[in-house]
Structure 1
Amino acid sequence: MLKRVIFSIVCLVATFVFSGIAIAKEIKELNFGIISTESSQNLKQNWEPLLKRMAEETGYKINAFFAPDYAGIITAMQYGKVQLAWFGNKSAIEAVDRADGEIFAQSMDVAGVGGYYAKLIVNKNSPLNSVEDVLKNAKNLTFSNGDPNSTSGFVVPGYYVFAQNNVDPKKIFKRTLSANHETNALSVANKQVDVATCNNETLTNIGNRQPAKLAEIKEIWTSPLIPSDPLVYRKDLPADVKEKIKNFFITFGVEGKDKRYAEDKEILKKLEWAPFKAATNDHSLPIRQLELFKTKLKYEGDTKMAPEEKAAKIKEIDLALDKLNARLKELGKS
């Protein structure tokens, strides 16, 4: 009898303990990370209406989290300070690999295209008209690169413009800087740098807000299509919370699914987007492929690495590329 009483008490205590844990983990608010593609003021102005609607639809308090660079958002997600975020593809890979992230949706441009383009830009009066011109005159030029975790600002031009021409931007230019897309574009327009990376979305935004500045910019290189920016949430969020978040985004601004369709369509228009589409971690496969290609080229050009070590590294990359290619083929994307 005593044993049964003790056992009942233990079960009751355990119930209260675990109930307490469940209550403690109840989600009431979410911190939404927004990558630093331009000034925080501009980002806040564009994103606040969407985050307000998200709060209304999901019932959670939504806090915007801005950091001066991509790494700040990744680290915040890694340590649970940010529960979901808008990333570029490169930073999304970092969030998935290092911060327990999971891709759940992708942005679409105003035409409904699931991609965007990296750009190399110069001032409209610059004599530079091509990548060849830039590389030929690099020793006399100031170059502003993108954030190292930026897909369109760093990874894509790094591969197509520099790696494929077997040059290192840090070594060939008179001076190399690093800034976000908006700063790069305005620096070119104001003749503060000779050449910079950017993307078509930022140039469109600048054209809408400061057409005179856009008129001072000349595009001299455009990349192949880059998969559009993904949205990522932490994998360890409760399933019902993830479902609410995902449902909000993939129905937002969709006629017949969004009860405030007209209003929400205007919110998307300010962000230069069409309605979102569902996505998974496979969304980043082309960028993973690009990163591996770039690393392989780096090893192949390393004259100081021991031949055995180099061969082993390249073999490892080739195996990883084979796996990615097989997955892309399975998805019908190769």
Structure 2
Amino acid sequence: MFKHIATGLLAAALASTAVAQEPKEIAFGIISTESSQNLKSQWQPLLDDMARKTGYKVNAFFAPDYAGIIEGMRFGKVHLAWMGNKSAMEAVDRAGGEVFAQMVNADGTQGYYSHLLVHRDSPLKSLDDVLRNAKSLSFGNGDPNSTSGFLVPGYYVFAQNKVDPKTAFKLVRSANHETNALAVANRQVDVATCNSEAMDKLKANMADKHGQLRVVWTSPLIPLDPLVMRKDLPEPDKRKLKDFFYGYGQGGAQEKDTLMKISKLSGFKPSTNAQLVPIRQLELFRDRNKLEADAGLPAAEKQARLAEIDKKLADLGKQL
């Protein structure tokens, strides 16, 4: 009898040890700036290195749009993710996320740019041409949670010119950067949003399509993309993941090559939610312009809501 008990205890102990040695699974979310197949080939070497250096089992998490990554983090299916500033803001506000790192460009520049693209043979030569002829044009807007594809042109192109793109154009559709650029190159839409990083990738991978495009508007500099993790991750896991990213790119030629293929990067530096302040200001500026233009809103209510936005803007200004 005692032999059976001892055997049972030994089996339980071995099972417990086996469970304890199972690697922790980490899901890394990747926003859909282009096809999942392309993104997987670019990011998989980094994810493999993460698994090797941290001991975690690292799984890539793809979704057809930015919202899918945000919702994945909200419901615990995504533990950390590469995001744009706008989607990172949504993840911080709605999905329990926190910014912990920021991409660093290989050439030392501090950001990237939003663009409006037209076909190289288009008669449209400027932003004024686009806005003046909008009623006869089809427009490829960005994902609603994209910083450079939606928020930045939404403010600088449309809000500042008091234009609603949903009604200004003959046709509007939303897609990721690569899809928008290819739609213009293939004459499926007349004008579309994109960004400088996606244009560089297109030039490297599909030079013939890149050659069909012309930029008619460029934004002010946009802060480079952040990495976001769930703030309720255990502190030892947070530390291990942060150490991996902060040191990545210093481990030899293979890491450097991986970073260049992802987005011509040299690495990642520490960052916080404070990185998102300029993006929050853009959203509030846009909301303020819409509110001021709303002729159907009672004056007292409008003033109260404007004052509320102004207070938020003032509070954000103190964080810079």
Q: What is residue 276 of structure 2 aligned with on the other side?
A: 284
Does residue 169 of structure 2 align to residue 169 of structure 1? no
Residues of 2 paired with 1:188 and 1:324: CA distance? 37
**Do 2:23 and 2:57's aligned partners in 1 also have CA atoms closer than 8 Å?**
no
Does residue 193 of structure 2 align to residue 197 of structure 1? yes
Letter in 1 for 2:303: A
The one of 137, 155, 159 equivalent to 1:159 is: 155
Q: What is residue 11 of structure 2 aligned with on the other side?
A: none
Deviation at 1:294, TM superposition (A): 0.5
Does residue 259 of structure 2 align to residue 268 of structure 1? yes
Q: What is residue 31 of structure 1 aligned with on the other side?
A: 27
Q: Deviations over 1:234-273 (max 9, x none)?
A: 000010100111111111013xxxxx32210011011121
Residues of 1 paired with 2:148 and 2:204: CA distance? 20
Deviation at 1:27, TM superposition (A): 7.1
Q: What is residue 227 of structure 1 aligned with on the other side?
A: 223
Letter in 2 for 1:285: V
**Structure 1 vs Structure 2: percent identity of aligned residues?**
59
Q: What is residue 118 of structure 1 aligned with on the other side?
A: 114
Unmatched runs of 5 consecutive residues or more in structure 1: 1-19, 255-259, 329-334
**Normalised TM-score (structure 1):** 0.88
Unmatched runs of 5 consecutive residues or more in structure 2: 1-15
Deviation at 1:309, TM superposition (A): 1.2
Letter in 2 for 1:109: N
**Do 2:139 and 2:173's aligned partners in 1 also have CA atoms closer than 8 Å?**
yes
Q: How does 1:1-334 map to 2 (within 5 A)?
A: 28-254=24-250, 260-271=251-262, 272-328=264-320
**Do 1:106 and 1:114's aligned partners in 2 also have CA atoms closer than 8 Å?**
no
Deviation at 1:122, TM superposition (A): 0.3
Letter in 2 for 1:106: Q
Q: What is residue 5 of structure 2 aligned with on the other side?
A: none
Letter in 2 for 1:129: K
- The 3-state SS of whatever aligns with 1:149 is coil
Residues of 2 paired with 1:48 and 1:176: CA distance? 34
- The 3-state SS of whatever aligns with 2:192 is strand
Residues of 1 paired with 2:240 and 2:299: CA distance? 53
Q: Deviations over 1:268-297 (max 9, x none)?
A: 011121211110000111001111100011
- The 3-state SS of whatever aligns with 1:165 is coil
- The 3-state SS of whatever aligns with 1:112 is coil
Residues of 2 paired with 1:113 and 1:75: CA distance? 31
- The 3-state SS of whatever aligns with 1:232 is strand
Residues of 2 paired with 1:183 and 1:265: CA distance? 28
**Normalised TM-score (structure 2):** 0.92
Q: Deviations over 1:87-143 (max 9, x none)?
A: 100000000000110100011222122311000000000011111000011011000
Letter in 1 for 2:261: K
Alignment length, in residue pairs? 301
